[in-house]
Amino acid sequence: MTMSLAATVPLPAPDLMRDTAIRQISVRIIEAPTTRKHRLSNTSVSHQGYVFVEVLLENGVTGYGEGSTLGGPRWAEESVEAMKANIDAYLAPALIGQPACNLESATILMDKAAKRNFTAKSAVDMALIDAIGKTLGVPAHVLLGGAVRTRFDAIWALASGDAVQEVEEAQKMIERGWFNRFKIKLGFADPQTDLNRLAALKAALPEGTMLVADVNQGWSEAECIRYLPVLAELAVSLVEQPIAAGQTEASARVAQRSSLPIMMDESVSTLSEAARETAAATGSVLSLKLCKHGSAHNLKRVAGIAAAGGVQMYGGCLLESSIGAAGHLHTFATLPKLEWGTEHFGPKILVEDLVTDSLRYEGFQVHLPEGPGLGVTPDFDRIAKYARKD
């Protein structure tokens, strides 16, 4: 039996170092309208701000990433204006000519070029992962260790402040089969008003509906002592970041007194913060977000530190479109555990999603997109429509 020449002579392997060299990084600011106002303890948004990042490789492949903020530098220190400026002036020059496949090296180079700026860095990192996935023809999660889950229990945020409107909104989500677990934003009214609103929602929703109360750093330690027992009486399942980040000792006292699990969010961005807050026992659950941790690999490291201390994982969001949400889901898919599911509802709160193939919400779960890279395709007509013109 003779073997063909094709079977005996291997094809030359692609030169990843050369072919994935970064030729260009470009950034646009996007302002996408939301279907209703989204309120936090310190701001309210009716348009969601993003930076849309495009990374062009020498092989002609383009990867896409997204960084999100809430109403400017109020949730964290970054704004879309600052992100664009720092990517253009510092992060892009540090990466041009470097192989995109060297993801860890890219993170190191960005960290040398600019301190913190985690959302900007995560948007670039997301675009690199998308480009490499497309180059190799594999989903992004393969580059991060491979998926251990392909669908996630989904959580919807109720944040208008109007209990009647929020009940109608929640009921629609249940009827459509999209969401049957809800996060209620607190902290933008006085505690008693917030609790009355929460009680009205609890009474109107089906028995046993899981509720997360997100105070967004809006209460003092004294208010926590007074009002957390009321949340327990209302059968809330989880309380997110009730007091300000950085108040480690007070947060530990609140967590120790509380009969409800406390979730850390704004208090944990870096690896050292994860180690400090876990050791201090300021929470038993951690909300993970790429915009806090700077890259997919850093998110996984933060999760590992917290998990080593017995902390459970929750997939947080910052109202990303399907672009940013897909980047998160591919990362969350590789975590050994994600006990609390994810709140990636951003694509459903936008008047128009920024992709041609939005994420699939079905059976009260959001499904991991398939295909190479992030598995979603930007809708450039909509991106041009909502891109800032100045």
Q: Cα separation of 103 and 95, whole Å?
A: 11
For the stretch 97-101, contacts whose Cβ atoms lie closer than 8 Å and that sit 24 or more positions apart, written own/partner, are 97/21, 97/22, 98/21, 98/22, 99/16, 99/17, 99/18, 99/20, 99/21, 99/22, 100/20, 100/21, 100/22, 100/55, 100/57, 100/63, 100/128, 100/131, 100/132, 101/16, 101/17, 101/20, 101/132, 101/135
Strand arrangement, sheet containing 62-69: 22-39, 44-57, 62-69
The H or E element spanning position 184 is strand 181-185
The token pair at 23 is 């030729």
The token pair at 151 is 């669908």
Q: Are 314 and 286 in contact (CB under 8 A)?
A: yes
Treating both helix axes as pointing N-terminal to C-terminal, what angle do 103-113 and 118-136 enclose, rounded to 10 degrees? 160
As a dihedral over the C-alpha atoms of residue 370, residue 289, residue 38, residue 68, rounded to 10 degrees, the angle is -80
Candidates 173, 183, 179; CA nearest to 216 is 183
Q: Which residues are catalytic?
A: 185, 343
Angle at 339 between CA 267 and CA 107, to 5 degrees: 50
SS3 assignment, position 152: strand
